[in-house]
């Protein structure tokens, strides 16, 4: 049976959602069963063999839904491999465009804001991907950010395929089975 992988994401304007779906497609191409869902609606990861979690980053912090997912699911995440990604650095000026090259990539440091939530987890990697600022970004702190899409879907796809190769190769290493109580119906 193919490994089941959850790709959960926290996105404010949809850029991170697009990255999550691209990663899901790369995982699916490795024969994995993939589900891509907003982190806020995931109630359990018990049905998955591996988890990929990503969040948009604003002012060096993951969104609330991504951080909350890590806290809520911490116990269940301990039994399975986890990969993380952050989305958010943007360009628009010569200095910012140079910074993108330096901070984005497949093997980047985990943001300090979530390090504490990762204790005891089997985090196999973290990637940072450039983001997108759409015309819908009208928050007070977003108004002065240049508009544009700096996402590199080739880079996202390469990372997703790397995660997929690992998950597919280790599909035989399954997590402990979850025993669900049987329910006897009186009718």
Mean of per-residue pLDDT scores for the chain = 86
Record the pTM: 0.86
Write down the pLDDT at residue 183. Answer: 40
Residue 170 has pLDDT above 90, yes or no: no
Write down the pLDDT at residue 66. Answer: 97
- Tens of pLDDT, residue by residue over 108-151, are 999 999 999 999 999 999 999 998 877 665 565 566 666 778 89
- Tens of pLDDT, residue by residue over 174-186, are 444 443 333 443 4
Segment 41-66 shows an average pLDDT of 95
Residue entry with tokens 């952050």: 86
E-strand spans in the chain? 4-10, 33-38, 50-58, 61-62, 81-87, 122-129, 132-133, 148-149
Segment 158-163 shows an average pLDDT of 97
**Calpha distance 94→85 (Å, rounded):** 25
Q: Between 97 and 83, name the one with better pLDDT.
A: 83
Q: Which residues touch 52 (CB under 8 Å, ≥6 apart)? A: 5, 6, 7, 8, 20, 23, 27, 82, 83, 84, 85, 163
Write down the pLDDT at residue 54. Answer: 98
Write down the pLDDT at residue 176. Answer: 46
């Amino acid at each position: 049976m193919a490994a089941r992988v959850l790709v959960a994401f926290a996105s404010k304007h949809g850029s991170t959602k697009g990255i999550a779906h691209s990663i899901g497609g790369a995982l699916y191409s490795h024969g994995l069963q993939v589900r891509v869902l907003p982190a806020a609606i995931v109630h359990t990861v018990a049905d998955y063999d591996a988890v990929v979690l990503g969040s948009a980053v604003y002012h060096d912090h993951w969104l609330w839904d991504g951080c909350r997912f890590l806290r809520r699911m911490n116990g269940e995440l301990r039994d399975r491999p986890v990969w993380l990604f952050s989305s958010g650095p943007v360009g628009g000026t010569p200095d910012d465009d140079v910074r993108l090259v330096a901070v984005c990539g497949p093997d980047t440091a985990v943001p300090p804001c979530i390090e504490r939530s990762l204790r005891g987890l089997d985090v196999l990697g973290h990637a940072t991907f450039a983001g997108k600022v759409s015309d819908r970004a009208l928050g007070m702190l977003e108004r002065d950010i240049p508009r544009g899409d700096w996402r590199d879907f080739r880079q996202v796809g390469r990372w997703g395929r790397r995660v997929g190769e690992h998950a597919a190769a280790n599909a035989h290493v399954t997590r402990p089975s979850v025993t669900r109580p049987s329910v006897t119906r009186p009718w």
